[in-house]
Amino acid sequence: MVKTILILGSSGMVGNYLISLLKDYHVFRTYYSKKKYEDDTYVDVYSYESLENAFKLSMPDIVINLTGIYNNLEFCEQNKELVMNVNCNALRSISKLANQFNSFLITISTDQVFDGSKGNYKESDKICPINYYGKTKAEGEKIVQSISKKYCIIRTSMLWGKNKTRNTFSEFILDEVKNKKELKLITDQFTCPTYLENFCEMFTEIIKREILGIIHLSGPEKLSRYDFGIKILKSTNNKKIIASNRNEFNFGKHMPEDTSLNTDKVRKLLRCNPEEVNISIEKYLKNN
């Protein structure tokens, strides 16, 4: 029997590409602000009744929560109630409904749940966010763990790549150097840039095998934004990049220094592994 997947936030960056890989499932799509397809169902994650309606209509075997607010760290600091409601409080209702309908719940978290003091974080490391965005995601994780009977929490890091929803960091770099002589990128803050297509391929395997627990799904290499920019622009023979410090930017004070994620667990669990950044960049530039 074909399983049904309810995707909350299916019109976003991850949802758009992920759906194309879920041909073996009946996918129940939802939206909040912009309806993409005629049969998409409106869901307000603030509202238990709205969420319950989506569950009753879809009767899901699997629920994927892709809703969330990031925008930028400064926005999150200035809109705390909104960000906490979406990134954290909504997960209480989603977890309860997933239990009620005996659904496997998958939700997306972030490397920002760590304080950045050491890097190479494993799934078992203590979470200790230093910015409000990270705090909301950390509290959301705790809610899922305390309520949900069957769950997977996926932490990821700086998703990039071509998509129909919004520009990612890779597109920002290429667009900026087309219009400016120079581009400042940070050298003293580290993440694991994660190619959207590779992320969704690994995500799909987690769905199919219904892997439980917490898993770090990111690129395999620790890079600064400057390092990443050099790799992209080297491929395009462009040299308009300038090294800068995160304290030169307003959002810099909210950025943990090193939130790189350890991917040993995902390498052991999945057949599809994190892809080297150079390989991903080659694919990205060739396809786009």
Q: What is the CA radius of gyration of the chain?
A: 19
At residue 8, the pLDDT reads 96
pTM: 0.95
Single-letter code of the amino acid located at 265: K
Question: 37-70 burial, b if ≥16 CB within 10 A, otherwise e?
Answer: eeeebebebeeeebbbebbeebebbbbbbbbbee
Give the confidence band of 167 by pLDDT, cuts at 50, 70, 90. confident
Quote the strand ranges of 49-192, DSSP E: 62-65, 104-110, 151-156, 159-160, 183-186, 190-191
State how beta strands 151-156 and 213-216 pair: parallel
Show Cβ contacts of residue 233 under 8 Å, excluding neighbours closer than 6 positions. 173, 177, 239, 240, 241
At residue 206, the pLDDT reads 98
Quote the strand ranges of 19-67, DSSP E: 26-31, 41-42, 62-65
The model's pLDDT over 191-226, given as tens digits with 9 standing for 90+, comes to 999 999 999 999 999 999 999 999 999 999 999 999
Query: Strand pairing partners for 4?
Result: 26
Lowest mean pLDDT among 64-78, 241-255, 261-275: 241-255
State how beta strands 223-224 and 159-160 pair: unpaired
Q: What is the mean pLDDT of residues 254-258?
A: 91
